[in-house]
């Protein structure tokens, strides 16, 4: 991409912010540099190549910035209801709150049908990690479908489950290891931005799984 600009500027309040990670700060600066009158329409593939990150990591960072109200995301759709483009606007930059005016009227996002296997895979993974027995009831599958329609992958669901199980399993917060909490619109982006710290149990399971194929000849 040819870019006619002299560089980027990061405001002091963003640079010294304790709420933003260094990765989020430079990510926000890049979004701001691409945010013109119509907003930033760069794809996850662009950011992944620019920052040398995976697309799932890009998705987590953007979700985190949205949850922290540093930027907003609007989706526009084609006539066949497929996503046409994603528009990212920096809502706060340089100490001023920028009023975002969408020049394109977004259509109401409709839930796309996803395979039952996807619901079952997510819930199966949650059950295995949390030692619970959640079933694919409508209230749970609706949440999974909503996050899926926000372009979250199976790996994103696994990351959220791994993070919260490592923090809450066998504690007073164990009861919150449930789809209604983990996959909610208000909590999912926050959990997705957290780092996974492997527990002793996770390490043992990983070693056991790596040796399973070696011994089962």
Quick count: other Cβ atoms within 10 Å of Cβ 39? 24
Q: Are residues 126 and 85 in the same domain?
A: no
pLDDT given at position 111: 46
Residue 45 lies in a domain: yes
- pLDDT for residue 53 is more than 70: yes
Q: Above pLDDT 90, what percent of the chain?
A: 35
Residue 217 lies in a domain: no
Give the confidence band of 71 by pLDDT, cuts at 50, 70, 90.
confident
Contact 33/8 with Cβ under 8 angstroms? Answer: yes
pLDDT given at position 215: 35
pLDDT given at position 158: 94
- Across residues 178-187, what is the average pLDDT? 93
pTM (whole model) above 0.85: no
Least confident of 115-119, 121-125, 202-206: 202-206
Residue 1 lies in a domain: no
Residue whose tokens read 């394109």: 104
Q: Are residues 131 and 189 in the same domain?
A: yes
Q: Above pLDDT 70, what percent of the chain?
A: 76
Q: Are residues 204 and 120 in the same domain?
A: yes
Contacts (Cβ under 8 Å, ≥6 apart) of 202: 162, 166
Q: Are residues 143 and 92 in the same domain?
A: no
- pLDDT for residue 89 is more than 90: no
Q: Are residues 126 and 202 in the same domain?
A: yes
- pLDDT for residue 209 is more than 60: no
Residue 213 lies in a domain: no
The range of the structural domain enclosing residue 136 comes to 116-208
- How confident is the model over 162-175, as pLDDT tens digits? 999 999 999 999 99
Q: Are residues 82 and 54 in the same domain?
A: yes
Q: Measure the CA–CA gap between 164 and 155, rounded to whole angstroms.
A: 14
Residue 181 lies in a domain: yes
Residue 5 lies in a domain: no
DSSP state of 21: -
Q: Are residues 88 and 143 in the same domain?
A: no
- pLDDT for residue 110 is more than 50: no
Residue 6 lies in a domain: no
- pLDDT for residue 68 is more than 90: no
Residue 216 lies in a domain: no
Beta bridge partners of 85: 76
Contacts (Cβ under 8 Å, ≥6 apart) of 199: 166, 169
Residue whose tokens read 């701001």: 32
Q: How many domains does the chain have?
A: 2
46, 67, 97: which is the final residue of a domain?
97
Contacts (Cβ under 8 Å, ≥6 apart) of 181: 187
Q: Are residues 74 and 145 in the same domain?
A: no
């Amino acid at each position: 991409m040819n870019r006619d600009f002299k560089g980027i500027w990061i405001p002091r309040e963003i640079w010294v912010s304790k709420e933003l990670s260094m990765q989020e700060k430079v990510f926000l600066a890049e979004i701001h540099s691409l945010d013109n009158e119509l907003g930033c329409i760069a794809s996850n593939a662009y950011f992944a190549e620019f920052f040398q990150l995976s697309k799932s990591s890009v998705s987590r960072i953007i979700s985190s910035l949205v949850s922290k109200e540093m930027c907003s995301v609007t989706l526009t759709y084609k006539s066949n209801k497929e996503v046409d483009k994603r528009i990212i606007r920096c809502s706060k930059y340089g100490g001023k709150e920028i009023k975002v005016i969408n020049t394109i009227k977004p259509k109401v996002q409709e839930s796309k049908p996803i395979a039952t296997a996807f619901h079952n895979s997510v819930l199966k993974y949650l059950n295995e990690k949390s030692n619970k027995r959640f079933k694919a009831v409508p209230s749970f599958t609706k949440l999974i479908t909503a996050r899926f329609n926000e372009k979250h992958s199976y790996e994103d669901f696994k990351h959220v489950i791994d993070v919260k199980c490592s923090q809450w399993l066998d504690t007073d917060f164990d009861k919150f290891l449930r789809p209604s909490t983990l996959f909610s619109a208000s909590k999912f982006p926050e959990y997705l931005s957290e780092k996974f710290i492997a527990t002793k149990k996770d390490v043992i399971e990983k070693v056991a799984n790596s040796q399973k194929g070696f011994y089962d000849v």
